[in-house]
Structure formats: structure tokens, C-alpha cells
Chains A and B, each alone.
Chain A
Amino acid sequence: MTQTSDLDRVTMIVLRYMRRPLFALLFVYSVGIMGMALMPGRVVDGETTRMNLFHAFYFFTYTATTTGFGELPDGFSDEQRLWTIFCLYTGVIAWFYALGSVIGLFQNPHFNQAMEGFRFARKVERNVDPFVILCGFGDTGSLLARGLSDHRMRAVILDVDPERIKALYVRDYSVAMPGLCADAGAPKQLLAAGVEHPACRALVALTNDDDTNLKIAVMARHMNPHLRVICRSTSARHEANLKALDSVTVVDPFEIFATLVYWAIDRPALHNLNAWLVGAQGVKLGVPVQVPPGDWILCGYGRMGHWLRDSLEAHGVGVRIIDPEVAAEEPQTGHTRSLVVEAHADQAALVAAGIDDAAGVIAATDRDADNLSTLLSVTALNPAAFRIVRHNSHENQLAFDAASADLVLQHSLTTARRILKLLISPLVQELIDWLAARDPVETQALVTRLQAAVGTQAPHLWSVRLVAAQAPAVSEWLQAGESLALGALLRDARAFPDRLPCEALAVRRAGRAVMLPGSEFSLCQDDELLFCSGHGVESMLQATLHNPYTLRYVLTGVDMPSGYLFAWLERRRRRGDDASAHDGSHRQ
């Protein structure tokens, strides 16, 4: 069996649809034209004239399409007029039939689907800019697409739900984001979306079904083994499967959420830094949430609840659980020391769980209405309790804004931010994980440094690789065998030798990452540097990276001559200085 492309399918459908109308037109035209040529015309000089075949064709063309120029090129005889009537009716009917078929074809859903698939594949194939394939355009997918658009990164979007794809068409993204309504689990659709395209940077599997995500990841891995795959998964079985594949990163929304809650409770400075770096609204650097010490009440003990409890108890934070269906599975998990209240999280249950002496409440069920009502009960019973709430559906945004909880975490948003960090600046995530594994003092030191560099502005994160294309002046300098310290590179050319208000967060060298490099850190060719600064600093540093004279000035503090003539004069002068210094030493 031969392979068929979308183009072949479109051509085939058109031909099959248009076969009969085209034959009808051909038949009517042939009969009409031949008849017109055979009809005796007017008698001129005793001889009967006839229309030649070309004139007959000309006549039929303007008659059948109802243009009707009149009796051209000469006046008609009555026989010809009789035949004209026949030609007019048959021709017009044949045309209506043909046009109706074409319109029917354009309304045929199969044809439209094939056309859309063909256009989508062509758009992806012709794209030269780097892009990401996004499978699944739900809450997380649309938030991720928005984030990618803010970073001017393209995405190709697949979703099985036609409504989601229609919603995609009305978004105002800053870059082109072609979308197709198709099952991303089918290899053919992945191929159309550009899995094998050289500009494809990564594939993100974000559908709501773990099986589909696993399928997408495995298919993509087979079709393009070098492609980076990020896969959303909430089941342990799938995660084990996926982690066995290299180049596949598994993202578990519940795990991310639980980690963030744990940070907010036990590592507020780190939580604050992370939120500030990802650009969460209303977060000020160095102003972490103030969390009281004590036990926490966890409302809702599903998959998310398990993650939260494990994460908190592993770090010595006590947890009391309120859930109507917790008892059935409790003996299996082996946890026995927590207080468990088997009820819905209403006022009575909160009192039973000891709301009066609890540090706070985590409302983490998967129903927004329950979470919001728990918040109200908590405010009534113990206004001092810290309230963390899980926000499930994007639609309820306004209610959560109004609820004024101490911390609102939306797992689709936290997942989207994590994936965005992995795609745009993986070093940021590595830095946060590195800080999480270390003493909180280091986090505090970094926060102080960033406060000094960036102040109250929003952070601007950007990375540079020391290669000829991105930093020609630095690359040339390093190739000449000169050494380059990070601190010297970051000097301000406008106010030498002051530093630019900018912090180098991490350096990636040959696959390994060096976190928080000091100002003596010696840079090498091919290093990738991650910077954090306020706005406007990037262009200053870009000037240093691109202009050899600016670079030399910030490194040495001396403005080197640029033209041949002055460079020659400078060399002569220096040689003269050296010679006189030499003489002087001799004379002594």
C-alpha cells in the first residue's frame, strides 16, 4: 500500500466530487457548440453563412454563464435563435449544478478537515523559527501558550476538542501559534505537528489523560530520539515507565503543588524568591509570607492530599486530615500518628480537628466550591489561622481573588510555570532546586544581592552563550587566549569601574551547572550565563558583549584607539615609553 499525504487526500476528494459536474458541463458545451456551428445562419449574397467553431465556443461561453452580449459577431437567423434558447437553458442549468457541487464540497466536513490538516502541516513545515509542540490545550496548555508567547517562542498546538482549538484562534498571541483539532496520540498527527522538524525544540504532553500522555511521549521518542519531551503525569505507574526513557522529563502537577506548599510553610524566603522569579503577581522580593508555627489541617485527602501530607511530614510538619472518605484506605498507608476527621470540612469538622491551635488550613479538595466554603468557616472560627487554598478551575478566578486567602495556588498555573521554566530557562529551575537542597542562609544571601541589584523592579531573566553569534567581542577575546573574570565583564561602561545592576545566577559549562558564580569566576568559550537584572541593563551588557572597544574598556579602563593610524601611534608611543624606561633603569 502506498502512503498518502493530506494533499493527495484533498486532491482525491475534489476529483471525486467534481467528476459528474465536469462531465455534465463537457456534454452540454459539446452539444451546444456543435449545434450552433451546424445551424444555418443568415443568407448573405444568396449563400447561407454558418458560425465557425471558435465563434460558436465564444457565443456559448457568454450565453451559458448568463453574460449575454447579444448576437455576436453577426446577427442570427431564426434557426440560430431557436438553438440559442436551447443553449441558454441547458448551459445555465449545467453551471448551476457545477457551482452547487463546489459549494457542497466546501461545506463537506471531511473535506474541511483534510484541508485544515493540509494547511496546518504546510504551515508547520514552512516555519523556520524554533517552536514547541503542545499536545493538549486545557487550562495548563493555554497558560503555557500565553507564557511562550510572552517569550516570543512559537508553539504548535494539538487538541482533540474542537472547541479548544476554536478558542485558540481568538487569542492575541505575539507569535504565530498554528493549532489543529486532532488526536495527538496518533503518530501521523505528531508528524504533521513537526516532531521531525529541525526547528522543533521540545514536545509537551499536557492532555488530561495519563495514558494519552504516555502514548504521545513514547511515540515522539521513537520518531525523534533527540527531541526533548516533557510529559504531564499523575500516576506512579506511568512515571516509572517514562523515567526509564532518557530525554523525557516528567512533570507531576500534584508534586509541584505539594512542594510549593511545603516551601511556603517551611521555606518562605525560597517560596518568595521562586514566585518573584516566575513573575507571580503582587509578589515583592524579600517580603515572604509570614506563616505561624504549629500543626496544619489538611482538608481533602485525594492524590493531591497524599502528596501534601508526605511532603510536609517528611520535613517534620504535623498534619491533621479532614476527608469524608479517608478511613477506607488509611490503614494501608501506614501513617497512624495523624489526627483524622472523617467528615466534610464544615465548621464541626474543623473544630474536631482543633482549628483553635492549628497554624493554618490547606483547603486542597478538587472542588472549588468546597474549598471556598472551608475558607469561610476558617475565617469564622479562627481568623488568625493561615489559609492556603487550592484553586482548580480557571473560571473561578474572580471568586478566589475576592476570598483573600493568604496563599492561592492554582495547579494548572504552577504546572505551566514549571514547564515554561524548563523550556525557556532551565537554569532557573536548577538554581531553585539547588537552593532548596541547601541551608536557608544561602537563599537569604541571594535575596539580599538581588534586592541590591534589581530593587523594586520586576525581574528580567535572560541568558547568553559565549559563542561568536551571541557575544562576538567576548568570543574573540577568549579565543585570543586572554582570561575573563565575570566581575570584570559586568562593569558599567558609563561609570567605570562600577558594576552594572545585574546578577549572574548560574553558568552552564559542558552540561554542568555552576550556581551563583562569584566575581572572580573565570569565563570560558561556550559558557551559558543566566542573568537577572532590572530593565534596560540587558542592552548595556549586550553592548559590552558585541563591541570589542567597549569590552576592552570595561576590562582595562583604557579606551583603545580604533583606526589603524591611531593604533600605530599608540604602539609607537608605548615602545618609546618602554625604551625610555629601559634607558632609565640602565642609568641607575
Chain B
Amino acid sequence: MNVERVVFGFFIILTLSLNVAFVSGGSGAAPHHNVWILTLAIIVNLVAIGLKLGDRSQTGALLLASGLVAGLLLITARIVWIVADPAGGGAPPAVDMADIVAIATGALVANTLATLILVGDTLLARR
């Protein structure tokens, strides 16, 4: 068992789970989406990116790329939230909420891909 694989796998799968937790629910309905979950997903995703820095293998490069895509989209979603809800107290209007959830769903695709690559690579290594 490789400690690095455990730690990296933990962060990648946690990002995916948090992303799903944020996206699930009606897309325009503000009460279904929690800003804290989105923020946490961004932080965990950034940690996963940091762990992959310095890997020289081909799968490492692909994982880094998918992590960067997911990070970019999640941060964009968070910025849209800030712009749509300057007061910070309540929730953004339904139109903006739909945009935020759509962008976060895009990030979900990248995170799913990263998890699939990780699982595939581990299974192929067979050791």
C-alpha cells in the first residue's frame, strides 16, 4: 500500500463527492444548494492539484489537467455567486442560481474523469 496513493485518492474522491453534494437538487432552487459545500469543494480540489504537482508520468499529467479544469469551473461558479449576491446574506436569484449549478455540473464531469483515470491506473498497475 502506498501512502501517497491513499492521500491523493482521498482528496480526488472527496472533491467528486462534494461536487455531487452541491449540484444535486433543482437547478434554479436556491435552498437546494449550499455555498459552504461549493467553497469546500474548491479547497479540496486545490489540495488535490497541489499533490499532483511534480508527477512526471503520463497519467499524472492527465490527472493534473482534469484537476485544473474542475478548479477553474468551480471557482467560476463561486465568482458568479459573489456577483449575483453582493449582500452575502441571502441566496442569488433563480436565473443566476441555474448558471452556477450548470457550471458546477461541468466541473463534475472533470472530477468524474479524474476519478476514473485514478481507478483505471491503479487497476492496471496490479501491484
Contacts and interface: CB of A to CB of B under 8 A. Distances in A.
Interface of A: 493-496, 546-549, 559, 561-567
A562 B127 contact: no
Contacts of A549: 56-57
A549 B59 CA distance: 11
Contacts of B2: 559
B127 A496 contact: yes
Contact of B54 (A495, A547, A563): A563
Interface string B51-73: 11111111010000000000000
9 contacts: A493-B127, A546-B58, A548-B56, A549-B56, A561-B4, A562-B56, A563-B54, A564-B53, A566-B51
Nearest to A564: B54
A562 B60 contact: yes
A357 to B, nearest CB: 61
Contacts of A493: 125, 127
A260 to B, nearest CB: 43
Nearest to A549: B57
Nearest to A548: B56
Interface string B94-120: 000000000000000000000000000
B87 interface: no
B58 A563 contact: no
A26 to B, nearest CB: 64
A569 to B, nearest CB: 9
Given A493-B125, A563-B4, A548 B51 contact: no
Contact of B55 (A494, A496, A559, A562): A562
Nearest to A570: B4
A563 B56 CA distance: 9
A495 B57 CA distance: 21
A547 B127 CA distance: 15
B50 interface: yes
Most buried by B among A496, A565, A567: A565
Given A547-B57, A547-B58, A549-B57, A563 B52 contact: yes
A565 B51 contact: yes
Given A547-B57, A567-B54, A562 B4 contact: yes
A563 B57 contact: no
Contacts of B54: 562-565, 567
B51 A563 contact: yes
Contacts of B58: 546-547
**Chain B interface extent, by class:** 10 to 19
A559 B6 CA distance: 13
A548 B51 CA distance: 18
A567 B51 CA distance: 10
Nearest to A567: B54
Residue among A496, A548, A562, A564 facing the most chain B CB atoms (10 A cut-off) = A562
Residue with the highest number of chain A CB atoms closer than 10 Å, among B52, B54, B60, B126: B54
A547 B2 CA distance: 17
A24 B65 CA distance: 68
A563 B50 CA distance: 8
Contacts of B125: 493-494
A421 to B, nearest CB: 34
A380 B4 CA distance: 76
Interface string B33-59: 000000000000000001111111110
5 closest cross-chain pairs (CB), A and B:
A564-B54, A562-B55, A566-B4, A494-B126, A563-B51
Nearest to B5: A559
A559 B58 CA distance: 17
B8 A563 contact: yes
A565 B56 contact: no
Nearest to B50: A565
Given A562-B4, A565-B50, A566-B3, A494 B127 contact: yes
Given A494-B125, A547-B58, A561-B4, 17 more contacts: A493-B125, A495-B127, A546-B58, A548-B56, A548-B57, A562-B4, A562-B56, A563-B4, A563-B51, A563-B52, A563-B53, A563-B54, A565-B50, A565-B51, A565-B54, A566-B4, A566-B51
A562 B57 contact: yes
A559 B55 CA distance: 13
A566 B58 CA distance: 18
A546 B56 CA distance: 10
A548 to B, nearest CB: 6
A567 B50 CA distance: 13
Nearest to B127: A494
Contacts of B8: 563
A546 B126 CA distance: 17
A29 B8 CA distance: 80
Contacts of A559: 2
